[in-house]
Structure 1
Amino acid sequence: MVRLSRAQQQERTRGSVLAAARAEFTEHGYALAKVDRIAERAELTRGAVYSNFPSKRALYLAVLIDMVENTVIGEPSRSPMSLADALGMFARAWLERLPLGEDTASGGRLQLRSLDGVLDDDHGREVLAQVARLEALLLAAALESCEPARTESVRRVRLAALVLTLLDGAAHLAETAPGSCDPFDVTRACQHLAGIDLADTWAPPHLPYVDRAQPCGDTWDPPAGLADRISGTRVDLGADGVIAVLGAGRLAAAEEAVRSARPGEQVTVVIVMSDPAETGRLVQLRITDLTGCLRRVFAADALPPLRLVLDDRATVASVLGLPDPDDETEAAVRIQGGAIVARAHGRGAAYAAATAHASNPTQPRKTRT
Protein backbone atom coordinates (compact mmCIF):
# COMPACT_ATOMS: atom_id res chain seq x y z
CA MET A 1 0.00 0.00 0.00
CA VAL A 2 1.41 3.39 -1.03
CA ARG A 3 1.58 5.85 1.86
CA LEU A 4 0.73 9.40 0.83
CA SER A 5 2.76 12.35 2.05
CA ARG A 6 1.01 15.05 4.03
CA ALA A 7 1.03 17.37 1.01
CA GLN A 8 -0.44 14.64 -1.21
CA GLN A 9 -3.13 13.91 1.38
CA GLN A 10 -4.01 17.60 1.61
CA GLU A 11 -4.25 17.83 -2.16
CA ARG A 12 -6.48 14.76 -2.28
CA THR A 13 -8.72 16.19 0.44
CA ARG A 14 -8.91 19.51 -1.37
CA GLY A 15 -9.84 17.75 -4.62
CA SER A 16 -12.57 15.77 -2.87
CA VAL A 17 -14.01 18.93 -1.35
CA LEU A 18 -13.99 20.75 -4.70
CA ALA A 19 -15.72 17.85 -6.46
CA ALA A 20 -18.35 17.60 -3.73
CA ALA A 21 -18.87 21.36 -3.71
CA ARG A 22 -19.30 21.49 -7.48
CA ALA A 23 -21.99 18.80 -7.25
CA GLU A 24 -23.69 20.67 -4.40
CA PHE A 25 -23.63 24.04 -6.17
CA THR A 26 -24.85 22.44 -9.41
CA GLU A 27 -27.79 20.84 -7.65
CA HIS A 28 -28.79 23.57 -5.19
CA GLY A 29 -27.13 26.79 -6.33
CA TYR A 30 -25.00 29.06 -4.18
CA ALA A 31 -27.69 30.40 -1.85
CA LEU A 32 -29.17 27.03 -0.89
CA ALA A 33 -25.94 25.03 -0.82
CA LYS A 34 -24.90 23.71 2.61
CA VAL A 35 -21.36 23.11 3.83
CA ASP A 36 -22.63 20.16 5.89
CA ARG A 37 -23.92 18.46 2.75
CA ILE A 38 -20.65 19.19 0.95
CA ALA A 39 -18.75 17.52 3.79
CA GLU A 40 -21.11 14.55 3.63
CA ARG A 41 -20.66 14.22 -0.14
CA ALA A 42 -16.87 14.29 0.30
CA GLU A 43 -17.06 11.85 3.23
CA LEU A 44 -15.25 14.36 5.40
CA THR A 45 -16.03 16.34 8.51
CA ARG A 46 -17.28 19.93 8.41
CA GLY A 47 -14.00 20.93 10.04
CA ALA A 48 -12.01 19.32 7.23
CA VAL A 49 -13.90 21.44 4.70
CA TYR A 50 -13.30 24.66 6.63
CA SER A 51 -9.63 23.82 7.12
CA ASN A 52 -9.24 24.08 3.35
CA PHE A 53 -11.78 26.82 2.62
CA PRO A 54 -12.70 29.38 5.31
CA SER A 55 -16.17 30.16 3.98
CA LYS A 56 -18.83 29.02 1.54
CA ARG A 57 -18.02 32.00 -0.67
CA ALA A 58 -14.32 31.08 -0.76
CA LEU A 59 -15.30 27.53 -1.68
CA TYR A 60 -17.67 28.67 -4.43
CA LEU A 61 -14.99 30.89 -5.96
CA ALA A 62 -12.49 28.03 -5.75
CA VAL A 63 -14.91 25.76 -7.63
CA LEU A 64 -15.27 28.35 -10.39
CA ILE A 65 -11.49 28.82 -10.61
CA ASP A 66 -11.03 25.05 -10.86
CA MET A 67 -13.56 24.93 -13.70
CA VAL A 68 -11.88 27.76 -15.60
CA GLU A 69 -8.32 26.55 -15.07
CA ASN A 70 -9.21 23.04 -16.24
CA THR A 71 -10.71 24.31 -19.48
CA VAL A 72 -8.50 23.28 -22.37
CA ILE A 73 -7.18 26.36 -24.19
CA GLY A 74 -5.96 25.72 -27.70
CA GLU A 75 -3.82 27.94 -29.87
CA PRO A 76 -5.64 30.55 -31.99
CA SER A 77 -6.78 28.98 -35.26
CA ARG A 78 -5.80 32.19 -37.04
CA SER A 79 -4.81 35.74 -36.24
CA PRO A 80 -7.51 38.44 -36.27
CA MET A 81 -7.53 40.30 -39.60
CA SER A 82 -9.04 43.51 -38.22
CA LEU A 83 -10.40 45.12 -35.07
CA ALA A 84 -13.92 43.90 -35.89
CA ASP A 85 -12.59 40.42 -36.56
CA ALA A 86 -10.83 40.38 -33.19
CA LEU A 87 -13.98 41.51 -31.39
CA GLY A 88 -16.03 38.79 -33.08
CA MET A 89 -13.51 36.07 -32.22
CA PHE A 90 -13.28 37.23 -28.62
CA ALA A 91 -17.07 37.39 -28.25
CA ARG A 92 -17.44 33.85 -29.60
CA ALA A 93 -14.84 32.53 -27.15
CA TRP A 94 -16.47 34.38 -24.26
CA LEU A 95 -20.02 33.33 -25.12
CA GLU A 96 -19.20 29.63 -25.03
CA ARG A 97 -20.01 29.80 -21.31
CA LEU A 98 -23.71 30.29 -22.02
CA PRO A 99 -25.59 27.26 -20.63
CA LEU A 100 -27.18 24.68 -22.88
CA GLY A 101 -30.88 23.85 -22.91
CA GLU A 102 -30.44 20.68 -20.85
CA ASP A 103 -28.52 22.44 -18.04
CA THR A 104 -30.33 22.94 -14.76
CA ALA A 105 -30.82 26.49 -13.50
CA SER A 106 -28.16 26.05 -10.81
CA GLY A 107 -25.80 24.25 -13.17
CA GLY A 108 -26.25 26.99 -15.74
CA ARG A 109 -25.34 29.66 -13.20
CA LEU A 110 -22.17 27.75 -12.37
CA GLN A 111 -21.32 27.49 -16.08
CA LEU A 112 -21.86 31.25 -16.39
CA ARG A 113 -19.47 31.92 -13.46
CA SER A 114 -22.40 33.77 -11.90
CA LEU A 115 -21.64 35.95 -8.89
CA ASP A 116 -25.27 36.84 -8.29
CA GLY A 117 -25.87 36.74 -4.53
CA VAL A 118 -22.23 35.86 -3.87
CA LEU A 119 -20.82 39.36 -3.44
CA ASP A 120 -23.26 40.64 -0.84
CA ASP A 121 -21.00 43.26 0.72
CA ASP A 122 -19.74 46.68 -0.38
CA HIS A 123 -16.08 45.64 -0.31
CA GLY A 124 -16.63 42.73 -2.70
CA ARG A 125 -18.51 44.94 -5.14
CA GLU A 126 -15.82 47.64 -4.96
CA VAL A 127 -13.12 45.09 -5.75
CA LEU A 128 -15.17 43.72 -8.63
CA ALA A 129 -15.46 47.24 -10.06
CA GLN A 130 -11.67 47.58 -9.95
CA VAL A 131 -11.24 44.17 -11.58
CA ALA A 132 -13.60 45.27 -14.36
CA ARG A 133 -11.31 48.26 -15.02
CA LEU A 134 -8.31 45.94 -15.26
CA GLU A 135 -10.21 43.54 -17.54
CA ALA A 136 -11.02 46.42 -19.90
CA LEU A 137 -7.35 47.42 -19.98
CA LEU A 138 -6.20 43.88 -20.80
CA LEU A 139 -8.72 43.43 -23.61
CA ALA A 140 -7.98 46.92 -24.92
CA ALA A 141 -4.23 46.27 -25.04
CA ALA A 142 -4.83 43.17 -27.14
CA LEU A 143 -7.24 45.03 -29.43
CA GLU A 144 -4.73 47.85 -29.89
CA SER A 145 -2.27 45.30 -31.29
CA CYS A 146 -4.66 44.89 -34.23
CA GLU A 147 -3.80 48.44 -35.30
CA PRO A 148 0.02 48.50 -35.14
CA ALA A 149 0.31 51.66 -37.23
CA ARG A 150 -1.71 53.54 -34.60
CA THR A 151 -0.32 51.91 -31.46
CA GLU A 152 1.24 55.11 -30.14
CA SER A 153 -1.98 57.10 -30.22
CA VAL A 154 -4.94 54.72 -30.20
CA ARG A 155 -6.69 53.73 -26.97
CA ARG A 156 -9.39 51.07 -26.93
CA VAL A 157 -10.22 50.88 -23.24
CA ARG A 158 -13.67 52.42 -23.59
CA LEU A 159 -14.43 50.07 -26.48
CA ALA A 160 -13.25 47.08 -24.45
CA ALA A 161 -15.37 48.15 -21.48
CA LEU A 162 -18.41 48.50 -23.76
CA VAL A 163 -17.89 45.04 -25.26
CA LEU A 164 -17.47 43.44 -21.83
CA THR A 165 -20.62 45.23 -20.64
CA LEU A 166 -22.56 43.78 -23.58
CA LEU A 167 -21.21 40.28 -22.93
CA ASP A 168 -21.90 40.48 -19.19
CA GLY A 169 -25.43 41.63 -20.02
CA ALA A 170 -25.90 38.64 -22.31
CA ALA A 171 -24.76 36.34 -19.51
CA HIS A 172 -27.17 37.94 -17.03
CA LEU A 173 -30.03 37.58 -19.51
CA ALA A 174 -29.11 33.93 -20.10
CA GLU A 175 -29.19 33.42 -16.34
CA THR A 176 -32.55 35.08 -15.72
CA ALA A 177 -34.31 34.18 -18.98
CA PRO A 178 -32.61 31.10 -20.52
CA GLY A 179 -32.85 30.86 -24.29
CA SER A 180 -33.75 34.51 -24.82
CA CYS A 181 -30.24 35.57 -25.81
CA ASP A 182 -28.96 34.83 -29.32
CA PRO A 183 -25.15 34.53 -29.11
CA PHE A 184 -24.78 35.06 -32.86
CA ASP A 185 -26.53 38.42 -32.65
CA VAL A 186 -24.40 39.40 -29.68
CA THR A 187 -21.24 38.46 -31.59
CA ARG A 188 -22.27 40.56 -34.60
CA ALA A 189 -23.11 43.47 -32.30
CA CYS A 190 -19.62 43.29 -30.78
CA GLN A 191 -18.09 43.36 -34.26
CA HIS A 192 -20.10 46.43 -35.21
CA LEU A 193 -18.88 48.27 -32.11
CA ALA A 194 -15.47 48.47 -33.81
CA GLY A 195 -16.86 51.26 -35.99
CA ILE A 196 -17.95 53.51 -33.12
CA ASP A 197 -15.80 56.56 -32.44
CA LEU A 198 -15.68 56.86 -28.65
CA ALA A 199 -13.10 59.68 -28.67
CA ASP A 200 -11.03 57.59 -26.31
CA THR A 201 -8.00 59.36 -24.85
CA TRP A 202 -5.86 58.82 -21.79
CA ALA A 203 -5.34 61.98 -19.77
CA PRO A 204 -5.95 61.38 -16.04
CA PRO A 205 -6.37 64.80 -14.41
CA HIS A 206 -4.33 63.92 -11.32
CA LEU A 207 -1.07 63.08 -13.10
CA PRO A 208 0.32 66.65 -13.16
CA TYR A 209 0.08 66.68 -9.36
CA VAL A 210 1.80 63.34 -8.73
CA ASP A 211 4.96 63.53 -6.62
CA ARG A 212 8.11 62.51 -8.43
CA ALA A 213 9.68 59.15 -7.70
CA GLN A 214 12.47 59.14 -5.14
CA PRO A 215 15.88 58.14 -6.51
CA CYS A 216 17.69 55.30 -4.78
CA GLY A 217 20.21 52.56 -5.42
CA ASP A 218 18.80 49.60 -3.52
CA THR A 219 19.90 46.12 -4.48
CA TRP A 220 17.30 43.42 -4.28
CA ASP A 221 16.85 39.71 -4.71
CA PRO A 222 13.65 39.21 -6.73
CA PRO A 223 11.64 36.10 -5.93
CA ALA A 224 11.70 33.47 -8.66
CA GLY A 225 9.11 31.03 -9.97
CA LEU A 226 6.19 33.46 -10.13
CA ALA A 227 3.73 33.04 -12.99
CA ASP A 228 2.41 35.68 -15.34
CA ARG A 229 -1.37 35.36 -15.28
CA ILE A 230 -1.67 36.67 -18.83
CA SER A 231 0.72 34.45 -20.78
CA GLY A 232 1.08 31.60 -18.29
CA THR A 233 4.87 31.85 -18.43
CA ARG A 234 7.36 32.64 -15.66
CA VAL A 235 8.12 36.25 -14.78
CA ASP A 236 11.65 37.61 -14.52
CA LEU A 237 11.30 40.35 -11.93
CA GLY A 238 14.98 41.18 -12.22
CA ALA A 239 14.59 42.57 -15.74
CA ASP A 240 14.81 46.32 -16.34
CA GLY A 241 11.45 48.01 -16.20
CA VAL A 242 8.67 48.99 -13.84
CA ILE A 243 7.04 46.97 -11.07
CA ALA A 244 3.78 48.35 -9.70
CA VAL A 245 2.35 46.82 -6.52
CA LEU A 246 -1.38 47.44 -6.39
CA GLY A 247 -3.98 46.44 -3.84
CA ALA A 248 -7.20 44.86 -5.04
CA GLY A 249 -8.90 48.22 -4.53
CA ARG A 250 -6.43 50.11 -6.74
CA LEU A 251 -6.29 47.94 -9.89
CA ALA A 252 -7.39 50.77 -12.19
CA ALA A 253 -3.94 52.31 -11.67
CA ALA A 254 -2.40 49.53 -13.78
CA GLU A 255 -3.00 51.63 -16.88
CA GLU A 256 -0.70 54.33 -15.54
CA ALA A 257 2.20 51.89 -15.65
CA VAL A 258 1.28 50.56 -19.10
CA ARG A 259 0.79 53.96 -20.75
CA SER A 260 3.73 55.71 -19.08
CA ALA A 261 6.43 53.08 -19.51
CA ARG A 262 9.03 53.40 -22.23
CA PRO A 263 8.31 51.44 -25.41
CA GLY A 264 9.49 47.86 -25.18
CA GLU A 265 10.37 47.76 -21.50
CA GLN A 266 8.87 45.25 -19.10
CA VAL A 267 5.91 46.37 -17.01
CA THR A 268 4.82 44.10 -14.16
CA VAL A 269 1.74 44.63 -12.02
CA VAL A 270 1.81 42.72 -8.74
CA ILE A 271 -1.60 42.43 -7.11
CA VAL A 272 -1.81 42.17 -3.33
CA MET A 273 -4.93 41.70 -1.25
CA SER A 274 -5.94 41.69 2.39
CA ASP A 275 -8.05 38.53 2.04
CA PRO A 276 -6.49 35.97 -0.35
CA ALA A 277 -9.19 33.36 0.32
CA GLU A 278 -12.03 35.54 -0.95
CA THR A 279 -10.75 38.78 -2.51
CA GLY A 280 -7.75 36.97 -3.96
CA ARG A 281 -9.88 34.22 -5.46
CA LEU A 282 -12.30 36.75 -6.92
CA VAL A 283 -9.45 38.53 -8.71
CA GLN A 284 -7.92 35.22 -9.80
CA LEU A 285 -11.24 33.98 -11.18
CA ARG A 286 -11.97 37.02 -13.29
CA ILE A 287 -8.44 37.46 -14.62
CA THR A 288 -8.01 33.76 -15.40
CA ASP A 289 -11.36 33.71 -17.18
CA LEU A 290 -10.60 36.76 -19.31
CA THR A 291 -7.02 35.83 -20.21
CA GLY A 292 -8.17 32.35 -21.19
CA CYS A 293 -10.40 33.96 -23.81
CA LEU A 294 -7.59 36.27 -24.94
CA ARG A 295 -5.20 33.37 -25.47
CA ARG A 296 -7.78 31.67 -27.68
CA VAL A 297 -7.89 34.70 -29.97
CA PHE A 298 -4.52 36.43 -29.92
CA ALA A 299 -1.07 35.03 -30.59
CA ALA A 300 1.50 35.32 -27.80
CA ASP A 301 3.12 38.41 -29.32
CA ALA A 302 -0.26 40.20 -29.45
CA LEU A 303 -1.19 39.63 -25.81
CA PRO A 304 -1.13 42.69 -23.52
CA PRO A 305 2.43 44.04 -22.96
CA LEU A 306 2.09 43.49 -19.26
CA ARG A 307 3.15 40.90 -16.69
CA LEU A 308 0.47 40.24 -14.08
CA VAL A 309 1.34 38.52 -10.80
CA LEU A 310 -1.07 37.56 -8.02
CA ASP A 311 0.99 37.95 -4.84
CA ASP A 312 -1.40 36.33 -2.38
CA ARG A 313 1.39 35.78 0.15
CA ALA A 314 2.83 39.30 -0.27
CA THR A 315 6.19 37.78 -1.24
CA VAL A 316 7.11 40.44 -3.79
CA ALA A 317 5.70 43.23 -1.67
CA SER A 318 7.80 42.15 1.31
CA VAL A 319 11.02 41.95 -0.71
CA LEU A 320 10.32 45.45 -2.06
CA GLY A 321 10.00 46.77 1.47
CA LEU A 322 6.19 46.80 1.73
CA PRO A 323 5.66 44.56 4.76
CA ASP A 324 1.96 45.23 5.33
CA PRO A 325 0.24 45.69 1.95
CA ASP A 326 -3.53 45.86 1.80
CA ASP A 327 -6.30 46.47 -0.74
CA GLU A 328 -5.48 50.19 -0.94
CA THR A 329 -1.75 49.74 -1.56
CA GLU A 330 -0.30 51.68 -4.49
CA ALA A 331 3.48 51.63 -4.83
CA ALA A 332 5.97 51.19 -7.64
CA VAL A 333 9.69 50.89 -8.35
CA ARG A 334 11.92 51.21 -11.40
CA ILE A 335 14.45 48.41 -11.90
CA GLN A 336 17.69 49.07 -13.74
CA GLY A 337 20.76 46.85 -13.86
CA GLY A 338 19.45 44.59 -11.12
CA ALA A 339 18.90 47.45 -8.69
CA ILE A 340 15.96 49.58 -7.60
CA VAL A 341 16.77 53.07 -8.90
CA ALA A 342 13.48 54.82 -8.08
CA ARG A 343 10.60 54.35 -5.64
CA ALA A 344 7.14 55.89 -5.45
CA HIS A 345 4.18 55.51 -3.10
CA GLY A 346 0.58 56.64 -3.07
CA ARG A 347 -1.72 57.72 -5.86
CA GLY A 348 0.13 57.94 -9.17
CA ALA A 349 3.02 55.78 -7.97
CA ALA A 350 3.08 53.67 -11.14
CA TYR A 351 3.20 56.81 -13.28
CA ALA A 352 5.96 58.33 -11.15
CA ALA A 353 8.16 55.23 -11.31
CA ALA A 354 7.51 54.68 -15.00
CA THR A 355 8.43 58.24 -15.94
CA ALA A 356 11.52 58.43 -13.72
CA HIS A 357 14.56 59.09 -15.91
CA ALA A 358 16.97 56.18 -16.12
CA SER A 359 19.99 58.18 -14.94
CA ASN A 360 18.12 60.80 -12.90
CA PRO A 361 14.87 59.36 -11.48
CA THR A 362 13.63 62.77 -10.36
CA GLN A 363 13.08 63.97 -13.92
CA PRO A 364 9.85 62.67 -15.46
CA ARG A 365 9.44 62.29 -19.17
CA LYS A 366 6.45 62.84 -21.44
CA THR A 367 3.96 59.96 -21.48
CA ARG A 368 2.31 58.29 -24.41
CA THR A 369 -1.38 58.92 -25.07
Structure 2
Amino acid sequence: MQSSRSNQDRTEKTRAALIAAARALFVEKGYAETATPEIVAAAGITRGALYHHFRDKRDLFRAVAEGEARQVAMEIETAAAPAADLPVDALLAGSRAYLDAMAAPGRTRLLLIEAPSVLGLAETRALDEAHAVRTLREGLSDAGLAGAGADALGDLVSAAFDRAALAIDAGGDRPAYEAALAELIRRLVA
Protein backbone atom coordinates (compact mmCIF):
# COMPACT_ATOMS: atom_id res chain seq x y z
CA MET A 1 0.00 0.00 0.00
CA GLN A 2 2.81 2.40 0.89
CA SER A 3 4.57 1.74 -2.43
CA SER A 4 1.36 2.38 -4.35
CA ARG A 5 0.87 5.71 -2.59
CA SER A 6 4.47 6.78 -3.10
CA ASN A 7 4.20 5.90 -6.83
CA GLN A 8 1.01 7.95 -7.05
CA ASP A 9 2.68 10.84 -5.23
CA ARG A 10 5.65 10.66 -7.58
CA THR A 11 3.33 10.62 -10.60
CA GLU A 12 1.38 13.63 -9.34
CA LYS A 13 4.59 15.55 -8.54
CA THR A 14 6.04 14.81 -11.98
CA ARG A 15 2.85 15.91 -13.76
CA ALA A 16 2.65 19.05 -11.62
CA ALA A 17 6.31 19.88 -12.35
CA LEU A 18 5.77 19.44 -16.09
CA ILE A 19 2.62 21.56 -16.08
CA ALA A 20 4.24 24.33 -14.01
CA ALA A 21 7.37 24.42 -16.18
CA ALA A 22 5.34 24.35 -19.40
CA ARG A 23 3.01 27.09 -18.14
CA ALA A 24 5.92 29.39 -17.34
CA LEU A 25 7.55 28.81 -20.72
CA PHE A 26 4.30 29.09 -22.69
CA VAL A 27 3.62 32.42 -20.99
CA GLU A 28 7.15 33.70 -21.51
CA LYS A 29 7.78 32.48 -25.06
CA GLY A 30 4.49 31.24 -26.44
CA TYR A 31 3.58 27.72 -27.45
CA ALA A 32 5.28 27.72 -30.85
CA GLU A 33 8.59 29.02 -29.51
CA THR A 34 8.75 26.57 -26.59
CA ALA A 35 10.56 23.28 -27.21
CA THR A 36 10.01 20.12 -25.20
CA PRO A 37 13.70 19.91 -24.18
CA GLU A 38 13.27 23.32 -22.51
CA ILE A 39 10.20 22.10 -20.65
CA VAL A 40 11.86 18.95 -19.30
CA ALA A 41 14.97 20.90 -18.32
CA ALA A 42 12.88 23.47 -16.45
CA ALA A 43 10.88 20.69 -14.76
CA GLY A 44 14.04 18.79 -13.85
CA ILE A 45 12.86 15.52 -15.38
CA THR A 46 13.64 13.38 -18.40
CA ARG A 47 12.09 13.65 -21.81
CA GLY A 48 10.87 10.08 -21.40
CA ALA A 49 8.90 11.14 -18.32
CA LEU A 50 7.23 13.88 -20.36
CA TYR A 51 6.03 11.37 -22.93
CA HIS A 52 4.99 8.95 -20.21
CA HIS A 53 2.54 11.54 -18.86
CA PHE A 54 1.57 13.40 -22.06
CA ARG A 55 1.25 12.26 -25.68
CA ASP A 56 3.00 15.37 -26.98
CA LYS A 57 3.54 19.08 -26.36
CA ARG A 58 -0.04 19.85 -27.44
CA ASP A 59 -1.40 17.39 -24.87
CA LEU A 60 0.72 19.11 -22.21
CA PHE A 61 -0.59 22.49 -23.34
CA ARG A 62 -4.15 21.15 -23.04
CA ALA A 63 -3.41 20.20 -19.41
CA VAL A 64 -2.05 23.70 -18.74
CA ALA A 65 -5.13 25.33 -20.32
CA GLU A 66 -7.49 22.98 -18.47
CA GLY A 67 -5.91 23.93 -15.15
CA GLU A 68 -6.15 27.63 -15.96
CA ALA A 69 -9.80 27.35 -17.05
CA ARG A 70 -10.67 25.34 -13.93
CA GLN A 71 -9.04 28.01 -11.74
CA VAL A 72 -10.99 30.81 -13.47
CA ALA A 73 -14.29 28.98 -12.91
CA MET A 74 -13.44 28.29 -9.28
CA GLU A 75 -12.66 31.97 -8.64
CA ILE A 76 -15.91 33.03 -10.31
CA GLU A 77 -17.97 30.53 -8.32
CA THR A 78 -16.31 31.55 -5.06
CA ALA A 79 -17.01 35.24 -5.68
CA ALA A 80 -20.55 34.79 -6.99
CA ALA A 81 -21.75 32.48 -4.20
CA PRO A 82 -21.95 35.15 -1.44
CA ALA A 83 -23.82 37.47 -3.82
CA ALA A 84 -26.37 34.80 -4.77
CA ASP A 85 -29.35 36.54 -3.09
CA LEU A 86 -30.05 38.49 -6.27
CA PRO A 87 -29.06 36.97 -9.61
CA VAL A 88 -27.87 40.33 -10.94
CA ASP A 89 -25.54 40.72 -7.95
CA ALA A 90 -24.15 37.23 -8.53
CA LEU A 91 -23.55 38.07 -12.20
CA LEU A 92 -21.85 41.34 -11.28
CA ALA A 93 -19.66 39.60 -8.70
CA GLY A 94 -18.88 36.90 -11.24
CA SER A 95 -17.86 39.46 -13.86
CA ARG A 96 -15.47 41.15 -11.43
CA ALA A 97 -14.12 37.73 -10.40
CA TYR A 98 -13.56 36.84 -14.07
CA LEU A 99 -11.50 39.98 -14.59
CA ASP A 100 -9.59 39.27 -11.36
CA ALA A 101 -8.93 35.68 -12.43
CA MET A 102 -7.80 36.74 -15.89
CA ALA A 103 -5.36 39.21 -14.31
CA ALA A 104 -3.18 36.30 -13.18
CA PRO A 105 0.09 36.74 -15.06
CA GLY A 106 -0.06 34.99 -18.42
CA ARG A 107 -3.59 33.67 -18.09
CA THR A 108 -5.09 35.90 -20.78
CA ARG A 109 -2.36 34.87 -23.20
CA LEU A 110 -2.79 31.17 -22.41
CA LEU A 111 -6.59 31.01 -22.56
CA LEU A 112 -7.54 33.70 -25.07
CA ILE A 113 -4.60 33.86 -27.47
CA GLU A 114 -2.64 30.60 -27.37
CA ALA A 115 -5.46 28.11 -26.69
CA PRO A 116 -7.52 28.88 -29.83
CA SER A 117 -4.36 28.71 -31.93
CA VAL A 118 -2.98 25.51 -30.37
CA LEU A 119 -6.15 23.57 -29.59
CA GLY A 120 -8.45 24.96 -32.25
CA LEU A 121 -11.75 26.71 -31.80
CA ALA A 122 -13.87 23.61 -31.11
CA GLU A 123 -11.60 22.29 -28.36
CA THR A 124 -11.14 25.73 -26.82
CA ARG A 125 -14.89 26.22 -26.84
CA ALA A 126 -15.43 22.85 -25.14
CA LEU A 127 -12.90 23.81 -22.49
CA ASP A 128 -14.66 27.13 -21.94
CA GLU A 129 -18.08 25.43 -21.89
CA ALA A 130 -16.93 23.11 -19.13
CA HIS A 131 -15.71 25.97 -16.96
CA ALA A 132 -16.26 29.75 -17.17
CA VAL A 133 -19.08 29.77 -19.72
CA ARG A 134 -20.88 27.14 -17.67
CA THR A 135 -20.86 29.45 -14.63
CA LEU A 136 -21.98 32.39 -16.78
CA ARG A 137 -24.87 30.42 -18.29
CA GLU A 138 -25.98 29.32 -14.82
CA GLY A 139 -25.96 32.95 -13.72
CA LEU A 140 -27.93 34.08 -16.76
CA SER A 141 -30.43 31.29 -16.20
CA ASP A 142 -30.83 32.26 -12.53
CA ALA A 143 -31.53 35.81 -13.76
CA GLY A 144 -34.35 34.52 -15.96
CA LEU A 145 -32.41 34.60 -19.21
CA ALA A 146 -32.87 30.95 -20.16
CA GLY A 147 -34.75 29.33 -22.99
CA ALA A 148 -34.45 29.84 -26.72
CA GLY A 149 -31.28 31.70 -27.57
CA ALA A 150 -29.76 31.25 -24.10
CA ASP A 151 -26.67 29.50 -25.47
CA ALA A 152 -26.11 32.25 -28.03
CA LEU A 153 -26.62 34.90 -25.36
CA GLY A 154 -24.08 33.14 -23.14
CA ASP A 155 -21.61 33.08 -26.03
CA LEU A 156 -22.06 36.78 -26.71
CA VAL A 157 -21.72 37.84 -23.09
CA SER A 158 -18.71 35.56 -22.70
CA ALA A 159 -17.13 37.19 -25.75
CA ALA A 160 -17.65 40.61 -24.15
CA PHE A 161 -15.89 39.39 -20.99
CA ASP A 162 -13.04 37.94 -23.04
CA ARG A 163 -12.67 41.17 -25.03
CA ALA A 164 -12.52 43.14 -21.80
CA ALA A 165 -9.84 40.80 -20.40
CA LEU A 166 -7.77 41.16 -23.58
CA ALA A 167 -8.09 44.95 -23.53
CA ILE A 168 -7.15 45.16 -19.84
CA ASP A 169 -4.20 42.82 -20.39
CA ALA A 170 -3.03 45.17 -23.16
CA GLY A 171 -3.13 48.13 -20.76
CA GLY A 172 -6.78 49.19 -21.04
CA ASP A 173 -8.59 50.94 -18.20
CA ARG A 174 -10.00 48.17 -16.02
CA PRO A 175 -12.53 50.36 -14.17
CA ALA A 176 -13.98 51.48 -17.52
CA TYR A 177 -14.32 47.90 -18.79
CA GLU A 178 -15.70 46.73 -15.46
CA ALA A 179 -18.31 49.51 -15.55
CA ALA A 180 -19.21 48.65 -19.14
CA LEU A 181 -19.68 44.98 -18.26
CA ALA A 182 -21.81 45.95 -15.26
CA GLU A 183 -23.99 48.12 -17.49
CA LEU A 184 -24.34 45.30 -20.00
CA ILE A 185 -25.38 42.86 -17.26
CA ARG A 186 -27.87 45.30 -15.69
CA ARG A 187 -29.49 45.98 -19.06
CA LEU A 188 -29.72 42.29 -19.90
CA VAL A 189 -31.32 41.44 -16.57
CA ALA A 190 -33.65 44.47 -16.47
Question: TM-score, normalised to structure 1's length?
Answer: 0.41
Q: After the TM superposition, which residues 31-110 of structure 1 pair with which residues of structure 2 at under 5 Å, given as runs? A: 31-69=32-70, 74=78, 76-82=81-87, 84-99=88-103, 107-108=105-106, 110=107
Change (3 A) 1:6 1:60: same
Gaps of 5+ in 1: 101-106, 197-369
Q: Which amino acid aligns with 2:49?
A: A
Matched residue, 1:296: none
Q: After the TM superposition, which residues 177-188 of structure 1 pair with which residues of structure 2 at under 5 Å, given as runs? A: 177-181=170-174, 182-188=176-182
Q: Aligned to 1:97, what secondary structure does the other structure show?
A: helix
Between structures 1 and 2, the one with greater strand share: 1
Q: After the TM superposition, which residues 1-369 of structure 1 pair with which residues of structure 2 at under 5 Å, given as runs? A: 5-69=6-70, 74=78, 76-82=81-87, 84-99=88-103, 107-108=105-106, 110-111=107-108, 113-120=110-117, 124-129=120-125, 139-147=136-144, 156-175=150-169, 177-181=170-174, 182-194=176-188
Q: Aligned to 1:32, what secondary structure does the other structure show?
A: coil
Between structures 1 and 2, the one with greater helix share: 2
TM-superposed deviation, 1:166: 0.5
TM-superposed deviation, 1:195: 5.4
Q: Which amino acid aligns with 2:97?
A: A
Superposed CA deviations along residues 73-112 of structure 1, whole A, max 9, x for unmatched, are: 6372232425x43432221121113437xxxxxx43x355
TM-superposed deviation, 1:155: 6.0
Superposed CA deviations along residues 179-216 of structure 1, whole A, max 9, x for unmatched, are: 355342233233244158xxxxxxxxxxxxxxxxxxxx
CA distance in 2, matches of 1:27, 1:131: 22
Given that residues 39 and 49 in structure 1 are in contact (C-alpha distance below 8 angstroms), is that contact kept between their aligned partners in structure 2? Answer: yes
CA distance in 1, matches of 2:92, 2:99: 10
Change (3 A) 1:12 1:57: same
Q: Which amino acid aligns with 1:7?
A: Q
Q: Which amino acid aligns with 1:97?
A: A
Change (3 A) 1:8 1:28: same
CA distance in 2, matches of 1:120, 1:67: 16
Q: Aligned to 2:113, what secondary structure does the other structure show?
A: coil
TM-superposed deviation, 1:159: 3.0
Given that residues 137 and 151 in structure 2 are in contact (C-alpha distance below 8 angstroms), is that contact kept between their aligned partners in structure 1? Answer: yes
Given that residues 91 and 136 in structure 2 are in contact (C-alpha distance below 8 angstroms), is that contact kept between their aligned partners in structure 1? Answer: no
Range with greater deviation from structure 2 (127-136 or 187-196): 127-136
Tell me how large the CA RMSD over aligned residues is: 3.6
Q: Which amino acid aligns with 1:191?
A: I
Given that residues 86 and 143 in structure 1 are in contact (C-alpha distance below 8 angstroms), is that contact kept between their aligned partners in structure 2? Answer: no
Q: Aligned residue pairs: how many? A: 182
Given that residues 17 and 39 in structure 1 are in contact (C-alpha distance below 8 angstroms), is that contact kept between their aligned partners in structure 2? Answer: yes
Q: Aligned to 1:172, what secondary structure does the other structure show?
A: helix
Given that residues 99 and 112 in structure 1 are in contact (C-alpha distance below 8 angstroms), is that contact kept between their aligned partners in structure 2? Answer: no
Change (3 A) 1:26 1:7: same
Q: Aligned to 1:77, what secondary structure does the other structure show?
A: helix
Range with greater deviation from structure 2 (125-134 or 180-189): 125-134
Question: TM-score, normalised to structure 2's length?
Answer: 0.71
Q: Aligned to 1:13, what secondary structure does the other structure show?
A: helix
Q: Which amino acid aligns with 1:27?
A: E
Q: Aligned to 1:31, what secondary structure does the other structure show?
A: coil
TM-superposed deviation, 1:39: 0.8
